[in-house]
């Protein structure tokens, strides 16, 4: 399983521009089985006007993900501000396959500090997606701070965290990604943005971490770019059998 992480910037509410600039980055990692984009990768986090336009924008962005997944013959994951069937705004992480089918996870832990709870509805379910021999737990940004919800019940092999995580909390991002990998004996894929918006500066620090807590791929901080790694599932299985942390869990 080859996983590619796409570290990009975002222009607020400039969907066409964002998608046009992400597409060539996918080409840099052609042959990957999974591409991971950032949180609200096409609009920006809490972008102005997101509530009013989220229904149409969400459909447009999902359609683009389906097209790109088919073109690359790979799955694509990234979060989108969209509206559910009941008209509630969701921060929804889509996992889209090459045939256009998809699963999604609605962000459980909304970032109240920045006002996300004012407009968005929180999700209420864990979501694990199987893809090409790997079981993926889907998570979004602030979820990283809540280990109980994501505790591995031997039902997944890797966690995806997509984020808009600011420079001023950089150490937290780096520390907790490793912690989640070690305590859940799994791979962790963390994808963050670069650049600046009216609130914060972002340096990326997008990484792929193995179950030992070691970084096996990373993007250059503060730069747009990509990186990839092969996930060795046989090694993970041997590690879990030799050192059965998950069997001894509470």
Annotated catalytic residue, options 116, 141, 186, 219: 141
Query: CB atoms < 10 A from the CB of 201, how many?
Result: 13
Please, are residues 247 and 23 in contact by the beta-carbon 8 Å criterion?
Answer: no
Which DSSP helix (H) or strand (E) runs through 80?
A: strand 75-83
Ranges of H-type helices in 107-227: 116-119, 170-184
Q: How far apart are CA 132 and CA 176, in angstroms?
A: 27
Distance CA 143, CA 147 (A): 8
Strand 158-162's sheet: what is its strand order? Answer: 128-131, 134-140, 158-162, 187-191, 207-209, 215-218
Residue 141 is among the residues annotated as catalytic for this protein: yes
Active site residue 186: no
DSSP type of residue 246 = G
Half-sphere exposure in the Cβ direction for 89 (13 Å, CA): 18
**107 an active-site residue?**
yes
Rounded Cα–Cα distance for residues 160 and 178 (Å) = 13
Catalytic residue among 2, 28, 107, 201: 107
Catalytic residue numbers read 39, 107, 141
């Amino acid at each position: 399983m080859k996983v590619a992480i796409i570290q990009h910037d975002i222009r607020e509410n400039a969907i066409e521009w964002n998608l046009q600039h992400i597409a060539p980055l996918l080409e840099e990692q052609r042959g990957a089985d999974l591409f991971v984009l950032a949180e609200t990768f096409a609009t920006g986090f809490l972008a102005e006007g997101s509530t009013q336009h989220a229904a149409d924008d969400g459909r447009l962005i999902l359609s683009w993900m389906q097209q790109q997944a088919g073109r690359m013959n790979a799955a694509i994951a990234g979060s989108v501000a969209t509206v559910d069937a009941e008209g509630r705004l969701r921060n929804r992480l889509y996992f889209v396959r090459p045939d256009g089918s998809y699963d999604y996870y609605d962000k459980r832990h909304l970032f109240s500090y920045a006002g996300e709870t004012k407009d968005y509805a929180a999700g209420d379910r864990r979501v694990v997606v199987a893809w090409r021999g790997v079981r993926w737990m889907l998570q979004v940004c602030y979820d990283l701070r809540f280990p109980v919800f994501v505790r591995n019940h031997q039902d997944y092999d890797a966690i995806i965290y997509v984020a808009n995580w600011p420079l001023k909390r950089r150490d937290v991002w780096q520390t907790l990604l490793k912690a989640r990998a070690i305590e859940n004996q799994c791979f962790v894929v963390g994808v963050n943005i670069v650049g600046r918006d009216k609130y914060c500066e972002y340096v990326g620090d997008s990484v792929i971490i193995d179950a030992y807590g070691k970084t096996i791929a990373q993007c250059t901080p503060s730069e747009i770019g990509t990186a990839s790694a092969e996930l060795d599932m046989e090694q993970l299985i041997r590690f879990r059998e030799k050192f059965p942390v998950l069997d001894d869990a509470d």
